[in-house]
Amino acid sequence: MKLALSPEEVAFRDDLNRFYRTEIPQEIRDKVQYGLDLTRDDVVTSHKILNDAGLAVPRWPVEWGGKNWTPMQLHLWEDELQLASVPDPLTFNANMIGPVIAQFGSPELKQRFLPATAALDIWWCQGFSEPDAGSDLASLRTTAVRDGDSYIVNGQKIWTTMAQWADWIFCLVRTDPNAPKRQAGISLVLFDVKTPGVTIRPIKLIDGRHEVNEVFFENVRVPADQLVGEENQGWTYAKFLLGNERTGITAVGRTKVRLAVAKEYAAQAKSGKSTLLDDPRFAARLAGIENELLALELTLLRVVANSSEGRPNPASSVLKMRGSELQQAATELLLDIAGPDALPVGGAETASPDWAQRTGPSYLNFRKTTIYGGSSEVQRTIIASTILGL
Amino acid sequence: MDFELTEEQVLLGATVRDLLARAYDQESRLKTLETESGWSREVWSQLAELGVLGLSFDEEDGGAGAGPVETMVVLEELGRRQAPEPLLDAVLLPGGLVRAVGTAEQRQRILPEVAGGARLLAFAHDEPGSRWPDTEVAVTAVADGSGFRLSGVKNPVAHGDCADELVVSAVLPTGGTGLFLVAATAEGVRRTPYRTYDERRGAQIDFESAPAELLGGPEAGDASGAIAAAIVAAQASLNAEAVGAMTEALRLTSEYLKTRKQFGVTLSKFQALTHRAADMYVSLELARSMSYYATAALADGVTDPMIASRAKLQVDRSGRHIGQEAVQMHGGIGITTEYPVSHYVARLTAIGRTFGSDLEHLRLLADRVAGYGLAEL
Ligand SMILES: Cc1cc2nc3c(=O)[nH]c(=O)nc-3n(C[C@H](O)[C@H](O)[C@H](O)COP(=O)(O)OP(=O)(O)OC[C@H]3O[C@@H](n4cnc5c(N)ncnc54)[C@H](O)[C@@H]3O)c2cc1C
């Protein structure tokens, strides 16, 4: 056993740290650090800077812009990125559809989409969930019927994150309604969200903001060469893709930064004769969250340090579940530090600081993290069945 | 001991419940929340007609002379329906202070109009950077002829945006904290209204030498005791509203588990979920018991901050548990504004942080824990 990084790893880490902090605009990193909304431009700008330096898609095959890094190097790349409050490379591109096309797509599809996906010249959104197909994704009903050299797509998706900003959608559709198993009749298709017959309707979330959408398809004509891999094999690709999504939600680095910010504010918050940070009960709660976060980080590192290529690690469910819960714990802590100042929302010109006014909506919004990307209940089921054999 | 409601109290609850059910369906409630004030004048007059606004005022002040139990019953119904009308903020809390501290003349001038729905009050007490228990007041009062002038900042002031008249705490020229009446439109009063994260409204109020009338007349002394007592009563009201909100959040969740299908069956077939709904029920009943405890103590004439904190600590913890579980078990739909459960969660979150949060109630209780052996009612 050995805790320390090798000198090469330390140098690697320090290089990344320097790059992130000098090349990504401070203004964008400040927004991430203090939980302000990013514009579409902010995400694109940051993503493009990373991509130009070969740092947007290191997990991809080398041929398509990836790096042949060790799992530890990949971890350091991500951890430093989060600690420097750099926005994640757009997850739909970098972690979801990109790796799937690289692994399962035809040579033409790779050529057509991978460079643009890595560069975020195409903004992708994920069309998987449907009103009646949430946790039970395989029950999805959107159909794609072959008509000459096209598919005709009909149906509805829901919870499509940032569809309003997206150029293209990757979509699970049912191509064989008569397949013996529900999972067997599903395909993965790609199309432009501006294709005739696509309608995007916003859904307002609890924090009053527009982040997710309903997307309707009415006789949408999708060229058949925009099918990924083989017809009716979409479920295999979806499982591959969702495995990548899950580990991405752990966000240990982001939660660490959030806790550091919480300390900053708690040290300013008056409580009785001293500050909140000096209140032993508050400090105990903060220390408790910090320690759970360290336990999670070490679990992550155990996975990273011992991971053998390709094999999905069942511990990824531990990371998703606890990672999302700790994100929630940190946003709740910030809300409590804000105290009564959390009440106004967008009340400029009042004595309540802006950061405090963001904590209520942000806490409420973060309830999502234990729901999306495989809910905590789904993760427990995976642990119980695949690890414990129950 | 008796924890049952009388027939009249049950009837009162049912009447308010009917009124609110007629006034609000999901759609009309959402529409109302979008209006500037965020609540309905029409529903307000209906509540006034029913006598709900004056319920807790004395009969000679235009009220019904009812007690804390009736107040609890009504607030539970408001919580259940998440009716946004500011009964606590605009009537019970500031009106209760006028009732407790005001002169006979002041009470008769103000309270009948409040009971009738024509005049709205707000209690302006919190100041920037202050947390419960906020006993240190920085707004100052200087004597000016027969009246006073106030200077300083109050924020947040719940429903301060719509108030006609403010009940303001300020440092008396002779020391101690006084309560003052200030017309919201008076010269030297500047209001900055805003929405809150639980879709209510509030305002910051800046006073710049604003004309004020001392509540209780020239002889009135330090009002700190009255303020503390009013907050204890307000905590009980919030507990009741929270219990109503939790009841409905649990009902919505149970209903959803019985109807939502995934994997070919309703969610109610998954024991992992039904047992958690059962735990929510446990939390609800504990909260209800503590809400009754706080109300019953008030009804007995006991105003004890320790009882208030005990009750609110449990209610806040139950509210957190039930709110978080309700969203989680609804999945994505639970965090949309169109679906009601999110509103219950937002409101429970805010109640849990109004007039003291978990941390602050625990602090108060922990500081005293060495002083007694048995924890007794
Ligand atoms: C903010 C947000 C963004 C999202 N972004 C996207 C996106 O971009 N693209 C996309 O395709 N989808 C997206 N999703 C959808 C997300 O993946 C689904 O919400 C998720 O799969 C859960 O489905 P559901 O909401 O229908 O809940 P349901 O599946 O109806 O679940 C309701 C509750 O029941 C539980 N449950 C369900 N089945 C079981 C079981 N067998 N055992 C025990 N408990 C169970 C769930 O865990 C949950 O608590 C997003 C969701 C949110 C909230």
Rounded to two decimals, the pTM is 0.97
Question: Of all protein residues, whose CA lies closest to atom 34 belonging to ligand 1?
Answer: B329
Please tell me if the CB atom of residue A165 comes closer than 6 angstroms to any atom of ligand 1. no
- SS3 percent helix, strand, coil of chain B, rounded to 5, is 55, 15, 30
Residues of chain A with pLDDT under 50: none
Q: Which chain B residues are within 8 Å of A139, Cβ to Cβ?
A: 262-264
Q: Would you state the pLDDT for residue A346?
A: 84
Interface test with A, best of B335, B349, B358, B365 (most A CBs within 10 A): B335
**Nearest CA-CA distance, residue B128 and chain A, Å:** 6
What sign does the CA torsion over A361, A363, A367, A370 have?
positive
How many angstroms separate the alpha carbon of residue A135 from the centre of ligand 1? 5
Please tell me if the CB atom of residue A242 comes closer than 6 angstroms to any atom of ligand 1. no
Helices (H), B60-156: 68-81, 93-101, 104-115
Contact flag A269-B346 (C-beta cutoff 8 Å): no
Please tell me if the CB atom of residue B260 comes closer than 6 angstroms to any atom of ligand 1. yes
Interface test with B, best of A278, A343, A369 (most B CBs within 10 A): A343
Q: Which chain A residues are within 8 Å of B263, Cβ to Cβ?
A: 135-136, 139
Residue B153 to residue B235: CA distance in whole angstroms: 24
Q: What is the pLDDT of residues B161-185, one digit of tens each?
A: 999 999 999 999 999 999 999 999 9
Contact flag B327-A367 (C-beta cutoff 8 Å): yes
Residue A8 to residue A3: CA distance in whole angstroms: 14
Q: Would you state the pLDDT for residue A348?
A: 80
**Nearest CA-CA distance, residue B88 and chain A, Å:** 17
Taking the CB of residue A175, how many other CB atoms lie within 10 A of it?
21
Task: Give B316's strand partners.
Answer: none
Please tell me if the CB atom of residue A365 comes closer than 6 angstroms to any atom of ligand 1. no
Two tokens at B367? 């500081």
Residue B159 to residue B37: CA distance in whole angstroms: 8
For residue B318, the SS3 value is helix
C-beta separation of B303 from B231 below 8 A:
no
Give B67: exposed, middle or buried? Use CB within 10 Å, 0-12, 13-18, 19+.
Answer: middle
B362 touches chain A (CB under 8 A): yes
- DSSP letters, A258-324, are HHHHHHHHHTTSEETTEEGGG-HHHHHHHHHHHHHHHHHHHHHHHHHHH--TTPPPTTHHHHHHHHH
Residue A106 to residue A98: CA distance in whole angstroms: 13
Q: What is the pLDDT of residues B245-287, one digit of tens each?
A: 999 999 999 999 999 999 999 999 999 999 999 999 999 999 9
Torsion of CA B23, B27, B33, B39, to 10 degrees: -10
In chain B the beta strands, taken as DSSP E runs, fall at 121-124, 140-144, 147-158, 165-171, 177-183, 189-196, 201-214, 261-262, 265-266
How many angstroms separate the alpha carbon of residue B2 from the centre of ligand 1? 45
ipTM comes to 0.96
Rg, chain B, Cα only: 21
**Catalytic annotation present for A211:** no
Nearest CA to A251 out of A32, A21, A17, A30 is that of A32
Q: Would you state the pLDDT for residue A312?
A: 59
Contact flag A360-B197 (C-beta cutoff 8 Å): yes
Q: Would you state the pLDDT for residue A272?
A: 81
Q: What is the pLDDT of residues B210-251, one digit of tens each?
A: 999 999 998 898 999 999 999 999 999 999 999 999 999 999
Q: Which chain B residues are within 8 Å of A134, Cβ to Cβ?
A: 262, 331-332
Q: Which chain A residues are within 8 Å of B261, Cβ to Cβ?
A: 132
Q: Would you state the pLDDT for residue A314?
A: 73
**Nearest CA-CA distance, residue A222 and chain B, Å:** 28
Among A205, A343, A375, select the one facing B196 at the smallest CB separation: A343
Q: Would you state the pLDDT for residue A310?
A: 52
Among A281, A364, A375, select the one facing B346 at the smallest CB separation: A364
Q: What is the pLDDT of residues B54-102, one digit of tens each?
A: 999 999 999 999 999 999 999 999 999 999 999 999 999 999 999 999 9
Interface test with B, best of A206, A273, A289 (most B CBs within 10 A): A206
Count CA atoms within 13 Å of residue A100 on its CB side: 32
Nearest CA to B139 out of B89, B173, B105, B111 is that of B173
Q: What is the mean pLDDT of chain B?
A: 97
Please tell me if the CB atom of residue A164 comes closer than 6 angstroms to any atom of ligand 1. no
Nearest CA to B216 out of B246, B184, B180 is that of B180
CA-based nearest residue in chain B for residue A269: B129
Report whether the peptide linkage leading into residue B84 is cis, meaning its omega lies within 30 degrees of zero.
no
C-beta separation of A35 from A255 below 8 A:
no
| Dihedral-angle region of residue A24 (phi above 0 means left; psi in -120 to 50 means alpha; beta otherwise) | beta
User: Which pLDDT band holds residue B139 (cuts at 50, 70, 90)?
Assistant: very high
**Nearest CA-CA distance, residue B295 and chain A, Å:** 25
Please tell me if the CB atom of residue A129 comes closer than 6 angstroms to any atom of ligand 1. yes
Q: Which chain A residues are within 8 Å of B198, Cβ to Cβ?
A: 360
Q: Would you state the pLDDT for residue A315?
A: 81
Give B305: exposed, middle or buried? Use CB within 10 Å, 0-12, 13-18, 19+.
Answer: middle
Catalytic-role residue among A78, A80, A211, A245: A245
In B223-312 the beta strands, taken as DSSP E runs, fall at 261-262, 265-266
Q: What is the 3-state secondary structure (H, E, C) of A222-262?
A: EEHHHECCCCCCHHHHHHHHHHHHHHHCCCHHHHHHHHHHH
Torsion of CA A5, A10, A16, A19, to 10 degrees: 160
